Structure 1
Amino acid sequence: MTIRVGYFPNNNSLFALRHNGLLELRLPDVEWVDLRDLPATPRVDPRDGLPTLHSDWLFEAGGYDVIGTGFTPPITGLGQGRDLVYVGISGPRVENGRLVALSESGIRSAADLRGKRVGVAHGSWQTTLVLLALDREGLTWSDIVPVDVDVDRGGAALLAGEIDAWVGAYPGLAEVEARAKVRTLVDTDGLFSHPSLWFVRREFAENHRQELEAVVAALQESDAWIVANPREAARFFVEDAERRGGTADLDRWEEALRGRPFGIGAVTDEFLDEQQRAADLLHANGLLPRPVTVRDAVLPWIGEVVEASRPAAV
C-alpha cells in the first residue's frame, strides 16, 4: 500500500522527515504530497469562515493519509463533519511567534486593536491566537479587520503599513525585528500551548494500524535527529526556499529549530481543553459552521502507541 504523507515547511517535523529518508526505511512505498502544490481551495474571507485545505485533502481521493499542522486545522475539519482523529502533539511552541505591532504605531496591547487591520495566516494557529487574545480583552473577531497574509510575507506587509498588527513567527519575525522596532502585544506563552499536531482519517487509523505505527516511529526518530543535527536540518529549509526561487538564512533557520520542541507525545486533557475552548470561540465568532466536541476525535490506543514509541530522551 502506498502511504501518502502531506507536508510543508510550517510543520518542521514532517518537512525534515521528507528530506532525511527515515520514513522510507520503515515503509517501502511512500508518496510525499507537498501541500503548496495542491490545487487551492477557494479563498475564504477571514470574516466569513475558515479555509479547509488540510481537511479537504485528507478526505479527497488522491490527497494524503497523514498530515501535520498547527493548532486550528483539525478543529476546522471537525467543524466540517470530517471523521478525523488525533495522532499526537509536540511540546508547547510558545517561543515560536507572537502578536506584534510596530513600536511607532501607538498600538500598545490587544485592547487597542478595535478597528485595526490584523494580519494572520488565516486558518492556522494564528487565527486561534488572535481570537484568544481578543476574548481576553472582551473583544470579538468582528471588532477587528482580519487580513489573510502569507506566513512568509506578513512581515513585509507590516513594514509597508498594509496591516497594523501581525502574528509573526520565526524565522520571519527575526527579519522584521532586524529592520524595525516592534512591540509585543500578546505573547503566546500564557495564552495557549501552540503545539504542532498530527491527525489522520479514522478509517486510516483503524484499518492501517501497522503503517500508522511506522509513521509515528519514524517521526520520533527524525525529531531526535533534528535535535542532534539542527544545522543539517536547517539546510533542508534553505535549499527548499532556493529551489522555489526565494532565499532563506541558514543561521536564522538553525536558531528557529533550536528553539522549538521536538518529539511527539499523546494528546493530553490540557491540550483537548484548549482545543475545545478554541472550537467554542471559533463557532461563537461565526468561523465554524457547527459546534464540535473535540474528544470525539480521540482513539485511546493511538496515544498508547505514541507514548510507547518515545525515545528515552529527545
Structure 2
Amino acid sequence: MSTKVGYFPHNNSLFVLRHRGILERRLPDVEWVDLRDLPQGQRPAPTEGLPTVHADRLFDGGYDFIGTGFTPPITAQGQGHDVVYVAISGPRHENGRLLVKADSDIKEIADLRGRTVGIAHGSWQTTLLLFALERAGLGWGDIIPVDTGVNAAEEFLSGAVDAWVGAYPGLSAVEAQVSTRDLVATDGLFSHRSLWFTRRDFAENRSEELAAIIAALQESDAWIRDNPREAAALFVADARQRGGLDTDLDAWEHALRTRPFGLLPVTGEFVAEQQRAADLLFASGLLSREADVASAVLADVNALVPPLPDPDAR
C-alpha cells in the first residue's frame, strides 16, 4: 500500500523533502500529491465559512499526511473529521504580520472597524487576524475580510485593501516598494507554527510509515538549516516553472533563514493556543461545529517526535 504525502510550497519542510529523495530511502512506495494540482472547488467568501480543501482531500483518499499552518486542522475537526496532530514547528513570528502602509490613517487595530483586510482565507492568516481583532475588542463582523489569494501583494500595493496579513517571501517585494507599519507585533500575539497532521486510522494503524515520515522530515529540515540558499533555489525553480511571482532567490533565502526548522512534539501550550483559535473561529460563524483540539493529540504519536537537540550543547 502506497503512502500518499501532500505537499505545497507553503509548507517549506514537505516541499523540500519532496525534492530531495530522502523519504524514498525509508518508504520506497511513497506517492507525492501536489495540493496545487487537486481540484480546489469553490472557495466560500470569508464571511461565509472556511475553505475545506485540505480536510476534504485528507479524508477522501487524496493523501495520508499533510503539513499546513494553524487553521486547516481546526477546519477539519469543525467538519467532524477525526484528525490527529503529528508534530509542530517552533514559533515563526518573523514570517508574517498584520500591516498597513506607513502613511495609512489606520493607527491601531481598533481603526480596522469597517475597513478591508487582505488575507489568504483559511490559512494561518485567518487565525492571526482573529487574535488581533480580539485584542482590540473587535470581531469578524467588524471588518471586511478579503480573500486576496495569489494577488495579495498587488492588492495591498494598489490600495484595494486597507490592511494586509503579509508573509515572506512575498512581503519582501512589498517592502522594497513602500514603507509599511505593523499594527501589532506577531510575537506575543500568535506563535504561527507549522503543523503536520493525519487521519486517526493512519496514525493508529500505520505507525511505521508515520515514524519514517517524521525521521525524513527531521533529516531534510537539518539540511535546510545548513543550506538555506540551495533550498531557496528549489522554490524559485518551481515558481518559474509554474509561472509564479515568487522567483527572487534572495527573498526566498531570507525567508528560510528566518524560519525554524525541525519537528517538535505537540505541547500543552500549543493545544491551548489552538483551542483558543478554534473557539474564535466557531464564535465568528466560520465553523459549523466546535472543535476539541486535545482529542486530536495521541500520546503514542507524540512519542514518535523526539525533542530537538539543544544547539548550545554541541
CA separation in 2, counterparts of 1:14 and 1:277? Answer: 27
Which residue of structure 2 lines up, in the alignment, with residue 57 of structure 1? 57
Asked if 2 retains the 8 angstrom alpha-carbon contact of 1:220 and 1:311, the reply is no
Within-5 A mapping of 1:225-240: 225-240=223-238
Q: Is 1:100 paired with 2:99?
A: yes
Deviation, 1:313, is 4.8
Give the letter aligned to residue 21 of structure 1: G
Task: Please name the residue that 1:13 is paired with.
Answer: 13
Given that residues 283 and 291 in structure 1 are in contact (C-alpha distance below 8 angstroms), is that contact kept between their aligned partners in structure 2?
yes
**TM, length-normalised to structure 1:** 0.97
Q: Give 1:207's aligned residue.
A: 205
Alignment partner, residue 153 of structure 1: 151
Aligned to 1:175: 173
Residue type of the alignment partner of 1:272? V
Deviating beyond 3 angstroms after TM superposition, the runs of 4 or more aligned structure 1 residues are 310-314
Report the alpha carbon displacement of residue 236 of structure 1 after superposing the two structures with TM: 0.6
Aligned to 2:292: 293
Aligned residues: 311
Match among 166, 173, 184 for residue 182 of structure 2: 184
- 2:114 aligns with 115
In structure 2, C-alpha distance between the alignment counterparts of 1:259 and 1:17, rounded to whole Å: 19
**In structure 2, distance between residues paired with 1:66 and 1:313:** 29
Q: Indicate if the aligned counterparts of 1:88 and 1:266 stay in contact, CA closer than 8 A.
A: yes
Q: Aligned partners of 2:292, 2:170: CA distance in 1, in Å?
A: 34
What CA distance in whole angstroms lies between the structure 2 residues aligned with 1:161 and 1:227?
Answer: 36
Q: Following the alignment from structure 2 to structure 1, what is the Cα–Cα distance between the partners of residues 148 and 311?
A: 37
Q: Deviations over 1:126-179 (max 9, x none)?
A: 0000001001100000000000011x4211101111111000001111110100
SS in 2 for 1:25: helix
With the length of structure 2 as denominator, give the TM-score of the two structures: 0.97
Secondary structure of 2:183's match?
A: strand
Alpha-carbon distance in structure 2 between the residues aligned to 1:250 and 1:271: 32
Mapping 1:244-263, distance limit 5 Å: 244-247=242-245, 248-263=247-262
RMSD across aligned positions (CA): 1.2
- Where does the alignment leave 5 or more consecutive residues of structure 1 unmatched? none
Taking the TM superposition and a 5 Å limit, the aligned residue runs for 1:71-82 are 71-82=70-81
Distance in 2 (alpha carbons) for counterparts of 1:236 and 1:188: 28
Secondary structure of 1:246's counterpart equals: coil
- Which residue identity lines up with residue 90 of structure 1 in the other structure? S
Aligned to 1:197: 195
Instruction: Give the Cα–Cα distance (whole angstroms) in 1 for the partners of residues 198 and 305 of structure 2.
Output: 14
- Aligned partners of 2:151, 2:211: CA distance in 1, in Å? 36
The AA in structure 1 aligned to 2:259 is R
- Same amino acid, percent of matched pairs: 64
Cα shift at 1:109 = 1.4
- Report the Cα distance in structure 1 between the residues aligned to 2:105 and 2:130, rounded to whole angstroms: 21
Return the alpha-carbon distance in structure 2 between the equivalents of residues 219 and 48 of structure 1. Answer: 35
* Mapped partners of 1:154, 1:103: distance in 2: 18
